Structure 1
């Protein structure tokens, strides 16, 4: 297995060092793999079965990284302007 060294400034190193229980190599590996999956998805519009399992395990999908479509943003803004429904008890939510 290959090792990669990453230079960090002192402030970041101190912050990371305080979180000694975090497996930083795993964080970096997952980030690199997500980037690879995202680039593949953007090129091919599909991902492999192994990558799909990885995405499921991490509750992530490359489409999560895409910007929202304008029509969806407009729909959200329209809904946000509508008056809400008063709720006095949690059971009121399920009566709708």
Structure 2
């Protein structure tokens, strides 16, 4: 298995209580950097979701994908509750990543 492979589900935001995006990746550091730099076309670049405000690491991509679907299927209130539980100040967690 590649060293950089670490399945994760994550939430990006454009500001506190602002627009949020839920995604899944095999390399959170690289993916979050892509969102921050605007090189990932689509929703996050259109709405300026550059802050990594929540993430969860998983053992396999299958588990991560299932969890992403579960979170995406939930209400906005549930997504906000996930963020608030891990990161009540809505800090950008990008610099905390040591993956």
**Under TM normalisation by the shorter chain, which class is it?**
under 0.3
Which structure has more RCO (C-alpha within 8 Å, separation ≥ 6)?
2
TM-score, normalization: structure 2?
0.19
Q: Which has the higher strand share?
A: 2
TM-score, normalization: structure 1?
0.20
